[in-house]
Amino acid sequence: MAGRRLRVVARYTLLTALAAIVLFPLYITVVNSLLPSQQLLARPPRLFPSSPEWDTYRRAWNAGHLGRYLKNSFIVTALIVSGQIATSILAAYAFAFLRFPLKRTLFVVFLATTMIPFEVTFFTNQQTIVSLGWYDTYAGLAVPFLATGFGTFLLRQAFLQVPRDLQDAAALDGYGHLRFMTRVAVPLARPMVAALALFSFFAAWNQYLWPLIVTKDDRLRTVQIGLRQLRGESVSDINVTLAGTVLAALPLFILLLVFQKQLVRGLTAGAVKG
């Protein structure tokens, strides 16, 4: 009996130690963000802010423009996610329920886009955006990513699960394709759509190279490039930079806490069989 309790204690200890290691970088960032500038250089480094300086957050938000950067990230991400969902639903519907010549070939074409890495396309795309006059615009940031082969693949899988009987019943009820799509197929595929939305959200929010090369105006910076800017400027104001970092991370953390289950499903969509 004692042996078992000891094993349980050992397990908790190991888990807690690992959790501490994983959380440590975040913790130390929050601590440093609240330290007054002089204390940052203290040796040994402070592990707890004795007199937290909340002003760093205000400075990160205002002078650091973090509010603006977050807004831009949200707008661009929202554009990309809605675009990807819309185009994927339409295309996946066509592949799952309609018949047309070259369907199989076209589907392979869609899948092929997932194999084209970003490095190959980025500079040409940048030139395209510039020539369209979309440099320093939301359009430039979002439009190249409005379609996704991966998303189409996922939603087609989900649509293929719609039972044949339902399709026949809908046909008898006189449903046209539009009504079938909106009233039957999409609602049934909702978990997959939600998963795709979350997956797209994270991918879009995390974009780095693209915003870097299609925006220069600070008014359009997304939060990733905004942080880059912040780091470049205030080398001596590391606490402000870190406050900005915490603010930048906050939306995703809240999302993780609220949507943990759906998030797991989204990020593992298509990965685990059965």
Partner 1 sequence: MSQAIDRLAPGVDAASRPVRRLSSRVREAGLGYLLILPSLLAFVTFEFYPFVRNFYLALYRTPPFPGLPKRWAGLGQVGDILSSGDFRNSLKVTVLFAVLTVPTGVILGLALAVLAHQQLKGIGIYRTIFSSTVATSVAVASVIFVTLFNPQVGLLSYLVGQQDFLQDPTWALPAVSIAFIWQHLGITFILISAGLGAVPDELLEAAHVDGAGAWSRFRNVTLPLLSPTIFFATVVGSITAFQAFGQIDLLTNGGPGDKTNVLVYAAYTEVFQRNNIGRAAVLAIALFVITLVLTIVQLTVLERRVFYGR
Question: C-beta of 256: minimal distance to partner 1 in Å?
Answer: 4
219 versus 267: smaller Cβ distance to partner 1: 267
Enumerate residues 105-134 that contact partner 1 by CB under 8 A: 106, 109-110, 113, 115-125, 128
Question: C-beta of 219: minimal distance to partner 1 in Å?
Answer: 18
1 versus 274: smaller Cβ distance to partner 1: 274
One of 6, 166, 171, 258 touching partner 1 (CB under 8 A): 171
One of 177, 183, 216, 219 touching partner 1 (CB under 8 A): 177
Enumerate residues 56-75 that contact partner 1 by CB under 8 A: none
- 33, two tokens: 């963000």
- Among 217, 226, 224, CA closest to 140: 217
- 49, two tokens: 């802010």
The whole-angstrom separation of Cα 114 and Cα 210 is 17
- 266, two tokens: 């989204």
Enumerate residues 130-149 that contact partner 1 by CB under 8 A: 143-149
Q: Helix H segments across the chain?
A: 2-34, 37-40, 55-61, 66-97, 103-112, 118-131, 138-142, 149-160, 164-172, 177-180, 186-188, 190-205, 209-214, 223-233, 238-258, 260-267
For residues 184 to 223, the per-residue mask of contacts with partner 1, x marking binding by CB under 8 A and - elsewhere, is ------------------x--xx-xx--xx---------x
Q: Are 252 and 224 in contact (CB under 8 A)?
A: no
For residues 249 to 268, the per-residue mask of contacts with partner 1, x marking binding by CB under 8 A and - elsewhere, is x--xx-xxx--x--xx--xx
